[in-house]
Chains A and B, each alone.
Chain A
């Protein structure tokens, strides 16, 4: 009895044991919404941010073959040399940028690890990271965990959610260190053209900024080829280019990404990576070599299919009268629902409860996403049609009852 009393008295208050920094991180805005969705069995979702395609079979087969051959060991910390060489080739042919596969490329566990590594390798406490929003939800918490001060740049619909030189200039201070460039963009589907990027370069150089260019959706553009800022004069030495296999090759579950950049930065990123991760999954790396060497036709097929769905969704939104700029990349559209006078979260929750359609509110990706929804079109046409018809009913009822 005594022992049990003692252990009661000794039981730690675990909630007091935690890191203040971590506890103060905001929980993900999509999480709360998805919790409701997961309780609703018959809801149709347009909320998922990953391809609906399975990984092309020849890529999976290469992964299986590597297992059969007994390739079950760690790779080097930086990743399979063969894969880094294939990535260097890909960068050369797609962007015309040369990277040394030995010192300037690091294979990571998804693009998201590379984002975390770059911040941790470059930030000193108090440095500012410029984050355009709406954007992927990880930049801000990862910056905070690296002791940076996140500075949010609110992108505007009238600029098609592109970052303008004026917006960048007015956000810069002498503390500014890293600019995040999340294009093609999740959640808006916005892209930055070569001209848009060129306009930013003088400001980036003037303020001595480094760029985290998150190009995970780089293969998914529909009105022209994606241009990386690293390909512009003077920018290769200031850019960590993050990419991966999840979106282009439908390989989300393989957890494989990479970072390309100046050797001095990649060396420090590799140091953190080797202590925290050791190396990216070996099976995935063998499969990725096959993806880069023989996967162009798959990427083309998926891009064409996304493009068809993109046109389909835009047309249905037009028919129901929801304003929406034409997104040119990724697999999202970002329609405006401001006319209904309710918050994006209220709109999405009401839509889910009344019509059983799950669409993520724009505010999950930053405060300036207020008044918008993120529709993912990584779904079959039948699924899109069904969900958007319900959205149409919902919108018409709201207008009637106004």
Chain B
């Protein structure tokens, strides 16, 4: 990883559709260099995918997000990894983090109605042997996600001024 790699990553993290020729101009390098770097970082698994941020609230489609704090009993020789795997294999699970603090795993469920969340927690998650407790929070409104503020961006507020 050099400075250009890092800069490419932070640019495409915000805009993965950027024109690679323009990106090369901005970074003072050649397009072929940018393309090679992207390919290498994809191969190395540094770049794991190119996703689209969607504000589903604006579509009328009923898709919500839930954050579930999970308490588990770690298993001998496997720590938390085995139970994390059991959980992240459910396709409705968006992310699973092992965290410090009051609980062990933080699970997010995306694109589900309230009812589906309830079903997932009661019939799938809570019934796992090693899960000792859950606390579910349903997201009511997203203000900012993936570093992006979801409200309409403000217009240029700079006024005409001289000199």
Q: Is the interface of A mostly helix, strand, loop or mixed?
A: helix
Q: Is the interface of B mostly helix, strand, loop or mixed?
A: loop
In the complex, the chain A residue whose C-beta lies closest to that of B27 is A308
Count the A-B residue pairs with Cβ separation under 8 angstroms: how many?
37
- Residues of chain A in range 30-60 having any CB-CB distance to chain B below 8 Å: 30-31, 34, 37-38, 45, 48, 50, 52
Query: A52 with B26: in contact, given A28-B163, A136-B163 (CB under 8 Å)?
Result: no
Stretch at the interface among B75-83, B119-127, B154-162: B154-162
Instruction: Tell me whether B26 and A38 are in contact (CB under 8 A).
Output: no
- Please indicate the chain A residues that have their CB under 8 angstroms from the CB of B7 in the complex: 304
In the complex, the chain B residue whose C-beta lies closest to that of A383 is B156
Instruction: Tell me whether A381 and B26 are in contact (CB under 8 A).
Output: yes
Contact of A30 among B22, B28, B158, B163 (CB under 8 A): B163
Contact of B163 among A37, A52, A138 (CB under 8 A): A138
- Please indicate the chain B residues that have their CB under 8 angstroms from the CB of A136 in the complex: 163
In the complex, the chain A residue whose C-beta lies closest to that of B28 is A311
Map CB proximity to A onto B1-35 as digits: 1 under 8 Å, 0 otherwise.
00000010000000000000010011110000000
A65 to chain B, nearest CB (A): 22
Cα–Cα distance between A307 and B26 once the two chains are bound (Å): 8
- Please indicate the chain B residues that have their CB under 8 angstroms from the CB of A315 in the complex: 25
Cα–Cα distance between A307 and B22 once the two chains are bound (Å): 13
- Please indicate the chain A residues that have their CB under 8 angstroms from the CB of B162 in the complex: 28, 30-31, 34, 137
Instruction: Tell me whether A381 and B163 are in contact (CB under 8 A).
Output: no
Cα–Cα distance between A28 and B160 once the two chains are bound (Å): 13
Query: A311 with B156: in contact, given A28-B163, A136-B163, A137-B163 (CB under 8 Å)?
Result: no
Instruction: Tell me whether A34 and B26 are in contact (CB under 8 A).
Output: no
In the complex, the chain B residue whose C-beta lies closest to that of A385 is B22
Q: Which of A307, A308, A309 has the most CB of B within 10 A?
A: A308
Whether A90 sits at the interface, judged by CB under 8 Å, is no
B94 to chain A, nearest CB (A): 28
Cα–Cα distance between A137 and B160 once the two chains are bound (Å): 15
Instruction: Tell me whether B26 and A308 are in contact (CB under 8 A).
Output: yes
Map CB proximity to B onto A120-160 as digits: 1 under 8 Å, 0 otherwise.
00000000000000001110000000000000000000000
Query: A381 with B158: in contact, given A30-B163, A138-B163, A304-B7 (CB under 8 Å)?
Result: no
Instruction: Tell me whether B22 and A381 are in contact (CB under 8 A).
Output: yes
Instruction: Tell me whether A52 and B160 are in contact (CB under 8 A).
Output: no
B interface, CB within 8 angstroms of A:
7, 22, 25-28, 156, 158, 160-163
A interface, CB within 8 angstroms of B:
28, 30-31, 34, 37-38, 45, 48, 50, 52, 136-138, 304, 307-309, 311-312, 315, 381, 385
Which 7 pairs between the two chains have the least Cβ-Cβ distance? A308-B26, A137-B163, A28-B162, A34-B160, A315-B25, A31-B162, A30-B162
